[in-house]
Structure 1
Amino acid sequence: MSCDVTSRCFWTVNMISVLAMSFSITYFLYNRFEEMPTRVAIENQFEPIKNLPYPAITLCTPNQVTISSLEYFKTTLIEGNKTDLESYLPLVLGFYEYINITDQTRDHLKNFQDLLEKNRYTVPELLGRVPQLCAKFLKRCYLERKVYNCTDLFKPILTARGYCCTFNNNYMFNRKMNVKDQNFVNRTVKATGFINALIVVTDYEMEDSMLGTLLNAGAVPVMYTDWTEFPSDDELSYIESYGESFHTITATYTYCSDEVKSLPVRSRNCFFHDEHRLDHFWSYHNSDCDHLCYANAVKSACRCIPAYIPHSGRNNVCKLVDIPCIIDVKSYQGPYSAITIVSEWSITEQCERDGAIEGLVLSKSTSAFHFFFTNPVYLKQKQETVMSIISLASNLGGVFGLSMGFSCISLLEILFYIYLGLKNYVKNKLAKVFIKISNHYNTN
C-alpha cells in the first residue's frame, strides 16, 4: 500500500511540474506572438527604380498676404465698407499662425466676415486669392532635363502651412475647396541623377508682400509625402531664400505578406489604406489621420472644420470669427516643429552653369531647388509574420510533446479514459442505488 502511495505522489509531482513548465513556455510563446507578430525582411537591395512613382513635393510661398490681393478685393468687393480692408487682410494669417487676439481684433474679424458674406465670398475662396499664386511664385521648372510650364507640374493646394504648390499629389485646390484630382496623372521616375533632377526656381516677391505678413522670415516650407497622402509636417524642411538647395531622394518600398494581412488589427497595430475609411480623406493614411484628429479637435471646440481639410463642404468651414477659437486649439495641442536647412551655394554659380535661371531677374527672394534620386535602384522590403498561427501551433505541440510526450492521439486517449472513468463512476453509483432500493423492497 505504501509503495502505491509513494508512486502516486511521485507521478503527481512530476505531472504538476511538467504542466507548469509547459504552460510557462506557452505563455512566453503567446506573448511573443502578440507583442512582436511581424518583422521586416530585405527582399531586394537593387530593385530598379524606373517607373517608381515620384513622391509628392509641396512648396509653400512665405508671401501669404499680397498687396496685389488688396487691390483685387478693393475692386471686386461691391457691397459694404472697404475702408479698413488693409487692416482686415493680415488677419487671415490666424488660420496658420499665432496672432494677437484683442477686442479690436475680434471686431475686425466680425466686420471682415460680414463684408465677405455681403459679397458672397467664402473663406476658402479668400484663402485661395489673398496669397501669392503658384503662377507667380514658381518662376521656372525642369523635370528630367525638359522645361515645363510650372502650372503643368504643380497644382495649388491649401495646407496647414497656408497656400502651397504641390507636385505629383492627387489632392488640389479647385478654388472652392481641396479635392482629389479626378484627372490626376501619377508621374513616375524615368531617369536618376543630378542632371535629371526636378529643378524649381521660386520667388516670393517681397515687394508684393504686405508689411509684417511675410512668414518664416522668407524661408520656403517644403513637405514630402506619398503621392496618395495629403501634404503634412511629417517630413518638413524650411529652406532659406536667395540660395540653391539640393535634395536627394532615396526610396524604400515595403509590402506585406498575405500572412500579415490575415492578422487582426490589434495584433499588427496598423491599417491598410482600404481597411478603414477616414472622413474627408476616404482612404486611410497615418498623416491623414493626424490631420483628421486636429480637424476633430477644432470641430469639437469651434463647431467648424479647418478650410484646408478636403471635401469639407461650403457650410462647415471655419469662418474668420472662429480664428480666436482655432488659435486656442493650436495652443492646447502645442507648437509645430521644424527643420531649417541653409543653402551652401550662391544662386549665381551652379544655376548659371545649368542655365536654369537664364533670362530671370534675380532678387533676395529668389531660390532654386533641385530634387533628384541619387541611385538607379531602391530597397524593397517585405513585412512578414515572425510566427504564424500554424508555427505557433507547431511550437506548442513541440513544447507539450517534449514535456509530456503529448500528441493529438494522447489527447483523444486521455479524453476517452476520462469518459470511461465518468461512465464507470455513474454506473457504480446507479448500481448502489438500485441495490438499496431492492434491499428495501425485500425487507418489506
Structure 2
Amino acid sequence: MAEHLLVLAQFYLNPLETPRLDVAHLQRLHWLLTSYHGDTGGYSVRDILRQLSPDCGDLIIRGIVYGSKVNTSQMFVKRPTSSNVCCIFNYRRPSYSRFARIREEDNAEMRAQPKVVFESNSILNSVQFVLQDTPENDRTNTFMTNNAFQLKIFPQDDYATVQSTTLGEILVDHYTIVEIPIQPTFFSSIEGVRNVPPQARRCYFPEEGRKLLNQTYYSMDECLLLCRSQSMMNHCGCVSPPMIGSSTNVTYCSLPDLPCLSKWKSIWYGYDEYPYLQEGKDQMAQRQCNHCLPTCNGVSFSITSNVAPMRRIYNDTGYLMGLLKGLTNERPLAVIKFFFKLRFAQATKSELVSTWVVLLNRFGGILSLMYGFSIVSYIEIFYYLTGKWFVYIYRSCSKRTVRAGNSLYWDELRPTRFRAPN
C-alpha cells in the first residue's frame, strides 16, 4: 500500500520531475481513499501527506535556544508546502486545512508554541538544533538525489516556501556543523514615492498590496502563490492541495486530476533544456506574474553559511559532551546554528529624486551646457520662424510698397536714420 501512496508525491510542484501516472491506477486509488474517508466528507491530499511524513520530533531531536535546552517537538509545527512537508520553527501563519476541525487543532498547536525573538549576535548564545535523518528502511519520498537536509528561511507570516528567492535556501550535508549568520537590512520609502506608479518604482506599499490580493497580508511570495493557483484553476479547474494557501473559493484537485496538473507544470516551468537560447521560450515563473512586486517598506535578509565537518564516532558509547552527548552515528546527524551576524543593521530609504519639472530644468541645463542656449531659445526660434514672417507680410501688404534692391529684413532690425536740423 505504501508503494501505491507514493503517487501522492506527484501533487508537489517539483519541476523537471518525471511523473509515474496510470489513469486506471489513479481511479482505483481515488475510489479506495474516497471509501475510507467517506464519513469525514472526502479525503484531503494535504492532510494525508502530512500524516505520512515523519514527525518533527524524529527529525529535529535536540535543540538549544539561547543557552537553554528545549523540547523540539513543541518548537516545530508540521505543514505541507508546494514542494514537501516541512517542520517549521517560530511560525505564525494559520492553518489552511480543508477541514475546520484540523484547522482548529493546527492553530491551537501553533498558539501553544513559545515565541522566540532573535536578539543575540553571538554563536555561543545562538539557536542550535540537531538534525537526524530518517532510517534507511523508511519509505519517505525525496525529490533531491542527495541526502542533504533542506533549510528554507522566510518571514514567519509568509507561505512556507521560498518562491521569489529573496531570502535563502541552504542544503546541510550529513555529518556537518553549519553556522548560519543572518544579517537584516531594513528598507523604507518616503511618501513622495507614492506619486510614482508601482510598475515604475517596482514595489507596493502595504495598502496597495492588500488591495491587489484582496486580503490583509501581502508579500511577493504570497502574490506568486495566488498567481500560480489562479493559473491552475484556469488550466485544470482545481488547485493542488499542498499549494492551497490563503486562496478562497477554490476547488481541491484529487487523484484523477494529476495528469492535468502534470501538463500544467510542463507549461508553467517549460521543460526546455536551454530556454535562454530560444527566443520567446523563457518560462520563468516570476516572469509569468509580472504584477507581483516586492514591498516598499520591510526588511530583507542576507544569509551565509560556514560549514565544518563533524567528528564521527564508530563505537556504541556515542558522543561524550555538548549538544550531541549520548548520540551515536546510527543515523546521519547534522548541527545547525542560527545567529545575527553583526550588532547593527543597515537601513536604506527610497526618496523621490526629482519631479518632471526638475527633470525638464535639468534637461535645459544640459542643452545650455552643450549647445550654448536654453529651452527658451527654442521658443524664440519658433517665434521668429512664425510670427515675424506673418508681421512682415502684413506690413508689406498694408504699405503696398516694394523697394528694389532691398533684401529681406525686419523693420526693427533696420537701422534708424537721423536727419540733422536745418
Q: TM-score higher than 0.5 here?
A: yes
Aligned to 2:235: 301
Distance 1:309 1:280 in 2: 16
CA deviation vs aligned residue, 1:83-141 (integer Å, no higher than 9, x gap): xx334321211112543112443334433442354244322221221111223322112
Aligned to 1:226: 155
Aligned to 1:163: 85
| Segment of structure 1 superposing worse, 223-232 or 386-395 | 386-395
2:226 aligned with 1:285, yes or no? no
Aligned to 2:6: 90
Aligned to 1:118: 38
Alignment match of 1:325 (pick from 257, 260, 271): 260
Distance 1:297 1:310 in 2: 14
Alignment match of 2:51 (pick from 129, 135, 140): 129
Evaluate the alpha carbon distance shift between residue 353 and residue 375 of structure 1 in structure 2; reply closer, same or farther with a 3 A threshold: farther
SS of the equivalent of 2:5 reads: helix
Evaluate the alpha carbon distance shift between residue 370 and residue 281 of structure 1 in structure 2; reply closer, same or farther with a 3 A threshold: farther
Evaluate the alpha carbon distance shift between residue 279 and residue 89 of structure 1 in structure 2; reply closer, same or farther with a 3 A threshold: farther
Distance 1:372 1:407 in 2: 58
2:170 aligned with 1:254, yes or no? no
Aligned to 1:70: none
Aligned to 1:373: 340
| Deviation of 1:192 (Å) | 0.9
Evaluate the alpha carbon distance shift between residue 281 and residue 305 of structure 1 in structure 2; reply closer, same or farther with a 3 A threshold: farther
Aligned to 1:32: none
Distance 1:209 1:357 in 2: 23
Q: Which ranges in structure 1 are unaligned for 5 or more consecutive residues? A: 1-84, 429-444
Aligned to 1:395: 362
Evaluate the alpha carbon distance shift between residue 347 and residue 115 of structure 1 in structure 2; reply closer, same or farther with a 3 A threshold: farther
Aligned to 2:296: none
Aligned to 1:69: none
Larger proportion of helix: 1
What is the TM-score with the length of structure 2 in the denominator? 0.65
| Deviation of 1:240 (Å) | 2.4
Distance 1:221 1:320 in 2: 27
Distance 1:105 1:346 in 2: 47
* Letter in structure 2 aligned against 1:377: F
Aligned to 2:246: 311
| Deviation of 1:164 (Å) | 0.5
Aligned to 1:57: none
- Between the aligned residues of both structures, percent identity stands at 20
| Bigger relative contact order (CA 8 A; separation at least 6) | 1
* Letter in structure 2 aligned against 1:232: V
| Deviation of 1:313 (Å) | 5.5
What is the TM-score with the length of structure 1 in the denominator? 0.62
Q: Which ranges in structure 2 are unaligned for 5 or more consecutive residues? A: 272-283, 286-304, 396-422
Give the aligned length: 340
Distance 2:214 2:28 in 1: 31
2:331 aligned with 1:364, yes or no? yes
2:130 aligned with 1:206, yes or no? no
| Deviation of 1:238 (Å) | 2.6
| Deviation of 1:268 (Å) | 0.8
| Segment of structure 1 superposing worse, 300-309 or 172-181 | 172-181
Aligned to 1:25: none
Alignment match of 2:311 (pick from 346, 349, 352): 346
| Segment of structure 1 superposing worse, 124-133 or 397-406 | 397-406
Name the Cα RMSD after superposition: 4.4
